Structure 1
Amino acid sequence: MYRSHNCGELRESDIEKEVTLSGWVQKTRDKGFVAWVDLRDRYGITQLVFDQDRTSETLLEQARNLGREFVIQVKGQVIERASKNPNLPTGNIEVLVTALTVLNQSETPPFTIENETDGGEDLRMKFRYLDIRRNPVKENLIFRSKVAMEVRKYLSDAGFIEVETPYLIKSTPEGARDFVVPSRMNEGQFYALPQSPQTFKQLLMVGGLDKYFQIVKCFRDEDLRADRQPEFTQIDCEMAFVEQEDILDAFEGLTKYLLKEINGVDIEKFPRMTYDAAMKKYGNDKPDIRFGMEFGELNSVAQHKAFNVFNNAELVVGIAVPGANSYTRKEIDKLTDWVKRPQVGALGMVYCRCNDDGGYKSSVDKFYDQDDLAQWAQVTGAKPGDLICVLSGDTNKVRAQLSALRMELAERLGLRDPKEFAPLWVIDFPLLELDEETGHYHAMHHPFTAPKPGQLSLLETDPGAVRANAYDLVLNGNEIGGGSIRIHDKQMQAVMFKHLGFTPEAAKAQFGFLMDAFQYGAPPHGGIAFGLDRLVAILGGQETIRDFIAFPKNNSGRDVMIDAPATIDDAQLTELGLRLNVPLE
Structure 2
Amino acid sequence: MLRTHTCGQLRLSDVNHTVTLCGWVQKVRDKGGMIWVDLRDRYGITQLIFEEGKTAPEVIARVRSLGREYVISATGTVQERLSKNDKIETGDIEINVTGLEILNPAKLPPFLIEDDTDGGDELRMKFRYLDLRRNTVRQNLVLRHKVAQQTRLYLDSQEFIEVETPVLIKSTPEGARDFVVPSRMNPGEFYALPQSPQTFKQLLMVSGFDRYYQIVKCFRDEDLRADRQPEFTQIDCEMSFVKQEDVLNMFEGLIRHLFKTVKGIDLAEVPRMTYADAMKYYGSDKPDTRFGMPFTELNDLVQNKGFQVFDEAELVVGINAEGCAGYTRKQLDELTDWVKRPQIGAKGLVYIRLNEDGTLKSSVDKFYSESDLKAIADRFGAKAGDLILVISGRKDKARKQLNELRLEMGSRLGLRKPDEFKVLWVLDFPLLEYGEEEQRWFAMHHPFTAPKPEDLSLLETDPGSVRANAYDMVINGTEVGGGSVRIFQKELQGKMFEILGFTPEEAKKQFGFLMEAFEYGAPPHAGLAFGFDRLCSIFGGADSIRDFIAFPKNNSGRDVMIDSPSTLHEEQLKELSIQVR
Alpha-carbon shift at residue 567 of structure 1 (Å):
1.1
Alpha-carbon shift at residue 62 of structure 1 (Å):
1.3
Alpha-carbon shift at residue 55 of structure 1 (Å):
1.1
Matched, 1:565 2:552: no
> What SS does the corresponding residue of 2:191 show, helix, strand or coil?
strand
Alpha-carbon shift at residue 87 of structure 1 (Å):
1.3
Deviations 1:114-159 (A, max 9, x none): 1111111111111111111111100000000000000000000100
> What SS does the corresponding residue of 2:325 show, helix, strand or coil?
helix
Tell me which residue corresponds to 1:506.
Answer: 506
Which amino acid letter does the alignment assign opposite residue 168 of structure 1? L
Tell me which residue corresponds to 2:384.
Answer: 384
Matched, 1:429 2:429: yes
Alpha-carbon shift at residue 314 of structure 1 (Å):
0.5
Q: For the Cα contact (< 8 Å) 1:294–1:380, is it kept in 2?
A: no
Matches within 5 A, 1:437-476: 437-476=437-476
Matched, 1:530 2:530: yes
Q: TM-score, normalised by structure 2?
A: 0.99
Distance in 1 of aligned mates of 2:377 and 2:394: 22
> What SS does the corresponding residue of 1:26 show, helix, strand or coil?
strand
Distance in 2 of aligned mates of 1:560 and 1:158: 41
Tell me which residue corresponds to 2:234.
Answer: 234
Tell me which residue corresponds to 1:575.
Answer: 575
Tell me which residue corresponds to 2:208.
Answer: 208
Matched, 1:291 2:291: yes
Which amino acid letter does the alignment assign opposite residue 533 of structure 2? D
Tell me which residue corresponds to 1:179.
Answer: 179
Matched, 1:307 2:307: yes
Tell me which residue corresponds to 2:353.
Answer: 353
Tell me which residue corresponds to 1:247.
Answer: 247
Tell me which residue corresponds to 1:75.
Answer: 75
Q: How many residues align?
A: 581
Alpha-carbon shift at residue 511 of structure 1 (Å):
0.1
Which amino acid letter does the alignment assign opposite residue 36 of structure 2? W
Distance in 1 of aligned mates of 2:53 and 2:174: 72
Distance in 1 of aligned mates of 2:72 and 2:328: 59
Distance in 1 of aligned mates of 2:373 and 2:229: 46
Tell me which residue corresponds to 2:28.
Answer: 28
Tell me which residue corresponds to 1:37.
Answer: 37
Alpha-carbon shift at residue 463 of structure 1 (Å):
0.5
Deviations 1:323-350 (A, max 9, x none): 2222221111111111111111111111
Tell me which residue corresponds to 1:128.
Answer: 128
> What SS does the corresponding residue of 1:449 show, helix, strand or coil?
coil
Alpha-carbon shift at residue 104 of structure 1 (Å):
0.8
> What SS does the corresponding residue of 1:102 show, helix, strand or coil?
strand
Which amino acid letter does the alignment assign opposite residue 348 of structure 2? G
Sequence identity (%): 65
Q: For the Cα contact (< 8 Å) 1:51–1:57, is it kept in 2?
A: no
Which amino acid letter does the alignment assign opposite residue 125 of structure 1? M
Alpha-carbon shift at residue 411 of structure 1 (Å):
1.1
Matched, 1:480 2:480: yes
Deviations 1:249-305 (A, max 9, x none): 100111111111111111232111110000000000010111100001111111121
Matches within 5 A, 1:105-120: 105-120=105-120
Tell me which residue corresponds to 1:87.
Answer: 87
Distance in 2 of aligned mates of 1:571 and 1:375: 76
Distance in 1 of aligned mates of 2:347 and 2:567: 45
Alpha-carbon shift at residue 438 of structure 1 (Å):
2.5
Q: For the Cα contact (< 8 Å) 1:554–1:560, is it kept in 2?
A: yes
Alpha-carbon shift at residue 533 of structure 1 (Å):
0.5
> What SS does the corresponding residue of 1:305 show, helix, strand or coil?
coil
Deviations 1:332-383 (A, max 9, x none): 1111111111111111111111211111111111111221122222223322
Q: TM-score, normalised by structure 1?
A: 0.98
Q: For the Cα contact (< 8 Å) 1:4–1:21, is it kept in 2?
A: yes
Stretch of structure 1 that moved more, 79-88 or 181-190:
79-88
Structure 1, unaligned stretches of length 5 or more?
none
Tell me which residue corresponds to 2:393.
Answer: 393
Alpha-carbon shift at residue 406 of structure 1 (Å):
0.7
> What SS does the corresponding residue of 1:143 show, helix, strand or coil?
helix
> What SS does the corresponding residue of 2:454 show, helix, strand or coil?
coil
Alpha-carbon shift at residue 8 of structure 1 (Å):
0.4
Q: For the Cα contact (< 8 Å) 1:85–1:92, is it kept in 2?
A: yes
Tell me which residue corresponds to 1:18.
Answer: 18
Q: For the Cα contact (< 8 Å) 1:431–1:467, is it kept in 2?
A: yes
Matched, 1:420 2:454: no
Distance in 2 of aligned mates of 1:11 and 1:52: 25
Matched, 1:280 2:275: no
Distance in 2 of aligned mates of 1:431 and 1:370: 45
Q: For the Cα contact (< 8 Å) 1:174–1:195, is it kept in 2?
A: no
Tell me which residue corresponds to 1:9.
Answer: 9
Tell me which residue corresponds to 2:218.
Answer: 218
Which amino acid letter does the alignment assign opposite residue 396 of structure 2? N
Alpha-carbon shift at residue 570 of structure 1 (Å):
0.8
Alpha-carbon shift at residue 543 of structure 1 (Å):
2.5
Matched, 1:342 2:378: no
Tell me which residue corresponds to 2:409.
Answer: 409
Stretch of structure 1 that moved more, 46-55 or 7-16:
46-55
Which amino acid letter does the alignment assign opposite residue 272 of structure 1? R
Tell me which residue corresponds to 2:152.
Answer: 152
Deviations 1:517-562 (A, max 9, x none): 0010000000000000111111122231112111111111111111
Deviations 1:411-458 (A, max 9, x none): 111111122111111111100011122331110000000000132221
Which amino acid letter does the alignment assign opposite residue 394 of structure 2? D
Distance in 2 of aligned mates of 1:467 and 1:362: 40
Stretch of structure 1 that moved more, 5-14 or 533-542:
533-542
> What SS does the corresponding residue of 2:448 show, helix, strand or coil?
coil
Q: 1:42 to 1:449 in 2, by over 3 A?
A: same
Distance in 1 of aligned mates of 2:111 and 2:370: 60
Tell me which residue corresponds to 2:547.
Answer: 547
Which amino acid letter does the alignment assign opposite residue 15 of structure 2? I
Distance in 1 of aligned mates of 2:279 and 2:257: 29
Q: For the Cα contact (< 8 Å) 1:291–1:416, is it kept in 2?
A: yes
Distance in 2 of aligned mates of 1:381 and 1:103: 70
Distance in 2 of aligned mates of 1:565 and 1:375: 61
Distance in 2 of aligned mates of 1:554 and 1:353: 45
Tell me which residue corresponds to 1:102.
Answer: 102
Which amino acid letter does the alignment assign opposite residue 345 of structure 1? G
Distance in 2 of aligned mates of 1:262 and 1:377: 44
> What SS does the corresponding residue of 1:496 show, helix, strand or coil?
helix
> What SS does the corresponding residue of 1:501 show, helix, strand or coil?
coil
Which amino acid letter does the alignment assign opposite residue 133 of structure 2? R
Q: For the Cα contact (< 8 Å) 1:34–1:60, is it kept in 2?
A: no
Stretch of structure 1 that moved more, 333-342 or 148-157:
333-342
> What SS does the corresponding residue of 1:117 show, helix, strand or coil?
coil
> What SS does the corresponding residue of 2:347 show, helix, strand or coil?
coil
Deviations 1:215-247 (A, max 9, x none): 000011111111111111000000000000010
Q: For the Cα contact (< 8 Å) 1:71–1:104, is it kept in 2?
A: yes
Distance in 2 of aligned mates of 1:386 and 1:107: 59
Which amino acid letter does the alignment assign opposite residue 7 of structure 1? C
Distance in 2 of aligned mates of 1:380 and 1:176: 41
Distance in 2 of aligned mates of 1:256 and 1:434: 36
